[in-house]
Copies of this chain bind each other. A is one copy, B any other.
Amino acid sequence: MKHILKPIASLVIVLVTFTSCNNTKKSGSNSGALSSNVAEKVFVAPGEHDEFYAFISGGYSGNLTVYGLPSGRMFKEIPVFSQFPTSGYGYSEETKPMLNTSHGFIPWGDSHHPDISQTNGEIDGRFIFINENNTPRIAKIDLQSFETTEIIEVPNSAGNHSSSFVTENTEYVVAGTRFSVPIPQRDMPIKDYKGNFQGALSFISVAPETGDMDIKFQVLMPGFNYDLSHPGRGKSHGWFFFTTYNTEEANTLLEVNASQNDKDFIAAVNWKKIEEYVNNGGGKMMPAEYAHNVYDEHTHTATSTIKKEVRVVNPTDVPGAVFFLPTPKSPHGCDVDPTGEYIVGNGKLSANLTVHSFTKMLDAIENEKFDGEAYGIPILNFEDVLAGTVEQPGLGPLHTEFDDQGNAYTTFFISSEVVKWKVGTWEVIDRKPTYYSVGHLTIPGGNSRKPQGKYMFAMNKITKDRYLPTGPEMEHSAQLYDISGDKMELLLDFPTHGEPHYAAAMRADLIKERSRKIYNLDENNHPYAAKSDAETKVVRDGNEVHIYMTTIRSHFSPDNIEGIKVGDKVFFHVTNLEQDFDVPHGFAVLGQNTSELLIMPGQTKTSVWEPTKVGVWPFYCTDFCSALHQEMQGYIRVSPKNADTPIKWSMGEDIE
């Protein structure tokens, strides 16, 4: 059971160790001649607003975080794929279905790449999508409520990484597998991976009005690893591009065995052609189990449906739909410039940066200039599709974004820098160090036809001494640069929350104007809502007890409850009667084996309590809601299992 380290491994280890730099830091603030000028650039005075929203993935937090730029302040953590004790997401009865999967309830996810919905290639601020890697899923967050409103599981997929990017009218949100697997899953030796495992690229349709998601089709590709992807736009709209690595199809020690080939591929997929094929009955339905979870803003409740089949397409059945573009070497980011002409392959083990030409690609396809095939998929000639090369830009290119002036910005993990270069001439214009080991970067509007420029931020993977220490575990660090001039200017270090892999950003206006402030109580269709004190009640149904409860500054109704018995399953259905902005109430009861509820104005949420101990137990409002918040409490009496204490409830007078 020993392993073999081939020679390349030591080279790799040297490169990696090189990233562990560790500068000495001085304590204290405000040094440097230009610090005053820089300070002003990032300062947002009390009461004023940031200019941009940045939506930064939480990575292993499973969530999505919302920041303002240029201040770098975190305004919200939106729970998406993970339980969130703060609000009760994934604990309350209404939200537990959001985390259901074909593998049952999963309390955690690994969120990576948010992408904002688009109309005509411009980001429109309606929705933001984000992928879960580990148990493949795609989520949609409504940017009026900043709530996760839909999650769809992706079957036949594993390590859902080349996701979740949208086409230029949000026709599709695309999800590509990182790990290939047996399709369908079956009991087979791991060593038979090569030629037997497959990689699914999933095209999830998004309904234009409602945003409802559905898996339209999956393209079953060879058993490579599919790393990142981006849509074509403008002239290349209708195509989608995916980087691949491990074209060696190794199944063990990939750091060595998947780093053998000089070139891997970018897979170019003409999704319009496949869509047409599918619309004409192409592909086949195969059995597949996957969850589709939808949150209803009027019942304030999620439902989960397990779907039973999915449409799959063999790419060789659709001639002219899928091609491979050779790309050095184990490319990570797959980025398309605002015009749609250039496709950048960020070959993370390559000495330079390869840019493909969409026009040349079409030309080569038309002329059938192929350099062989892989599993029946034509491979184009590297030179035939090459637009240009950025020479010796840095070590370990990972990801490229674009501004509105024809410039590109690429992160280099190993040499720990961002490099600015000119699209078309491929000349390097500027380079700035990052602290340390940058992964991805973001420019507002970056993944669209109309980048908004002004700022760029880098998301760094190593933090070390950038902040006051917090023990062995440090938050990751982002760095904000002014990119309005010829040279990039470092403005600010700001810590992130979770592990930010990727981000999407945009001007604030579109979202700000449409933001929801409360839920209308009149439109609350929750089956257990009590819309006034008169509707409050306590109803026993066998050993289930349903408490229809209301909250308003500063009391619960009812606030004295009796007749509960050990062994009961008690449902607190709590309706927040407030109709003012920013007046949530919370609810918790002593000894409950779940989280609190945090209930927004007009909402109803439900918490379950299965008391095991006889006694009189308090509940209280967990959100400091008013000057008399501390008085917002109640008691619930739990009698023995065989007691005959009748169900009674009251507020403002004693139970008799």
Contacts and interface: CB of A to CB of B under 8 A. Distances in A.
Interface string A59-70: 111100010101
Interface stretch (A207-215, A417-425, A539-547, A594-602): A594-602
Contacts of A324: none
A76 B474 contact: yes
Interface residues of chain A: helix, strand, loop or mixed (majority):
loop
A639 B185 contact: no
A616 B181 contact: yes
A468 B560 CA distance: 40
A190 B46 contact: no
A623 interface: yes
Interface string A1-43: 1111100000011011001101101111111100110111111
Interface string A629-649: 011111101111001010011
A110 B622 contact: yes
Contacts of A283: none
Q: Which of A35, A39, A182, A591 has the most CB of B within 10 A?
A: A39
Q: Which of A16, A29, A348, A622 has the most CB of B within 10 A?
A: A29
Q: Which of A189, A472, A555, A612 has the most CB of B within 10 A?
A: A472
Contact of A593 (B58, B105, B560): B105
Given A44-B29, A253-B651, A533-B3, A622 B59 contact: yes
| Interface residues on chain A, size class | 35 or more
B43 A61 contact: no
A356 interface: no
B251 A591 contact: no
Contacts of A26: 48-49
A87 B61 CA distance: 8
Contacts of A337: none
Contact of A25 (B47, B66, B101): B47
B49 A27 contact: yes
Interface string A72-94: 11111100001101110001000
A85 B86 contact: no
B25 A45 contact: no
A543 to B, nearest CB: 17
A364 interface: no
Nearest to A188: B616
A588 interface: yes
A250 to B, nearest CB: 9
A653 to B, nearest CB: 6
A359 to B, nearest CB: 30
Contact of A43 (B43, B146, B259, B615): B43
Contacts of A522: none
A620 B159 contact: yes
Nearest to A23: B47
A328 interface: no
Contacts of A51: 27-29
Given A29-B50, A75-B470, A654-B251, A591 B15 contact: no
Given A16-B627, A473-B146, A189 B25 contact: no
A472 B252 contact: no
**Chain copies in the assembly?**
2
Contacts of A16: 553-554, 626-628
B25 A649 contact: no
Interface string A342-371: 000000110000000000000000000000
A85 B72 contact: no
B471 A254 contact: no
Contacts of A41: 30
A523 interface: no
A633 B74 contact: no
B591 A252 contact: no
A138 to B, nearest CB: 15
A441 to B, nearest CB: 14
A147 B471 CA distance: 8
A613 interface: yes
A615 B50 contact: no
A553 B255 CA distance: 9
A518 interface: yes
Contacts of A594: 107-108
Contacts of A414: 627
B622 A60 contact: yes
A107 B607 CA distance: 13
A428 interface: no
Nearest to A459: B624
A163 interface: no
Contacts of A217: none
Contacts of A77: 497
A133 to B, nearest CB: 8
A107 B593 contact: yes
Interface stretch (A306-314, A386-394, A487-495): A487-495
Interface stretch (A116-124, A274-282, A577-585): A577-585
Contact of A618 (B35, B72, B158, B560): B158
11 contacts: A1-B648, A60-B85, A75-B475, A83-B83, A107-B595, A108-B594, A145-B471, A147-B471, A188-B637, A253-B555, A348-B627
Given A76-B475, A187-B638, 9 more contacts: A25-B47, A35-B43, A47-B466, A75-B475, A83-B83, A86-B498, A181-B617, A253-B555, A254-B633
